[in-house]
Structure 1
Amino acid sequence: MTNEVEISDVMTEGVIAVEQDKSVVEAAQLLEEEEIRGLVVVDNGEAVGIVVCRDIVYQLVSEGKDPSGHQVKDIMSSDLIVAEEDEVLNDVAMAMVRNNVSRVPVVRGDMLVGILTQSDILRAWPGFAEVIGEEREMDAPATPNPESQDGYCESCENYSEELENINGMMVCPECK
């Protein structure tokens, strides 16, 4: 069923945007006023990036930098994925997962008409959370087997925190 849902059916219409030359403080105030977590960044009306609360915290505040001394363009994500309003939800949702983005501006031709967020997708497609989890699990690095473990040595039967597998037997350093 999700294969046939168009973005326009689930997106948030209207876009709260901020000019790229505005200060980060102005962007933060707009985020608070609108009670949202992300803004589309525009330059002369054209979408050029996204700025989210996390950008402000991770790129400025956590590093002790003063947000009032920075412009939105300094911290925005500019690798922008944009969707046409008639695109299929499943395709765009999977592109969001592959590119690790949480929101995508939606256009009709050259006009910005909305935004698609992970929350919008979850309302329309509750199974999306499972897809995200599986994608992240597949991207996670493999956990190597530990080189040593604790237990009882199969040779001397003494307890050790440094057992190693030697020829199929778990043995302590002394018996190795």
Structure 2
Amino acid sequence: MLIKEWMSRTVITLESDKSLKDALKLFQTRVISMLPVLKKEKLVGIVTDGDIKKASPSDATTLDKFEMTSLLDTVTIESVMSKPVVTIQADHTVDEAAGIMLAKGISGMPVVDTTGKIQGIITKSDIFRCFVSFTGVSNKGQVFAFKLRDKPGIIKNLTDMIRNSGGRLVSIMTSYDDFEKGFRKVFFHTFDIDPDKFDRLVENFYGTGNLLYAADLSKGFRRMF
């Protein structure tokens, strides 16, 4: 899940001496949520659609259309952009990017090389695409969630049960959040389990005392335990 495989390579940028009007036009005519700001080809800031809204006159303004256009022309992007810019490199992973974005409260980052030159941009939409692709959930398989003791071999026992039911394992995700020490939550996404074998597998999983959730997305079946 390297960033270079999921980032958008076509990046729309704006020079720092451009006006708020120039930025507003780009946000209105392109499908973008942020604009890296350059000064002599160097990344110096970033402008989001939220920055544009904050800097623009409110809907309650008494300015007419021509006065508003004139005002937007006088405001430079350099005066409203956010800096310094949080960036990441293309050889980092998507989950690293997600962690940074969550911690910083941002929706995307420019991707730069070792010299600081922009190579692309990664946004929360790219991370969602990556997540959906790797979980396999868009292909409507089966999902099982467990509360498991954090000890060697326990996941293998469950994957053996899936394999013996004719299932094909797509992904395994695990989390230690919101669980007491010594336990973790594990999600399995599978394909190709026949309906009759799925029901028996759910019974067997439930018998282990660890099953929290089971779903067959192809049938619309979902059950909490």
TM-score, normalising length from structure 2?
0.51
Aligned counterparts, 1:1-176, within 5 A: 5-62=1-58, 66-110=71-115, 111-126=117-132
What amino acid is the match of 1:16?
Answer: I
Task: Look up the SS of the partner of 1:113 in the other structure.
Answer: strand
Task: Look up the SS of the partner of 1:125 in the other structure.
Answer: helix
What amino acid is the match of 1:103?
Answer: G
| CA displacement, residues 52-85 of structure 1 (integer Å, 9 cap, x when unaligned) | 1211112332395832220001111113111110
RMSD: 2.1
Q: Distance in 2 between the 1:28 and 1:58 partners?
A: 12
| CA displacement, residues 149-175 of structure 1 (integer Å, 9 cap, x when unaligned) | xxxxxxxxxxxxxxxxxxxxxxxxxxx
Unaligned runs of 5+ in 1: 128-133, 135-176
| CA displacement, residues 118-141 of structure 1 (integer Å, 9 cap, x when unaligned) | 1111111259xxxxxx9xxxxxxx
What amino acid is the match of 2:120?
Answer: G
Q: Distance in 1 between the 2:114 and 2:73 partners?
A: 35
Q: Distance in 2 between the 1:79 and 1:47 partners?
A: 9
Partner of 1:149: none
Cα distance, 1:99 vs. partner?
0.6
Cα distance, 1:29 vs. partner?
1.2
In the alignment of these two chains, the number of paired residues is 124
Identity score, percent: 29
Cα distance, 1:24 vs. partner?
0.7
Alpha carbons of structure 1 residues 14 and 109: separation in structure 2 relative to 1, 3 Å:
farther
What amino acid is the match of 1:70?
Answer: V
Partner of 2:223: none
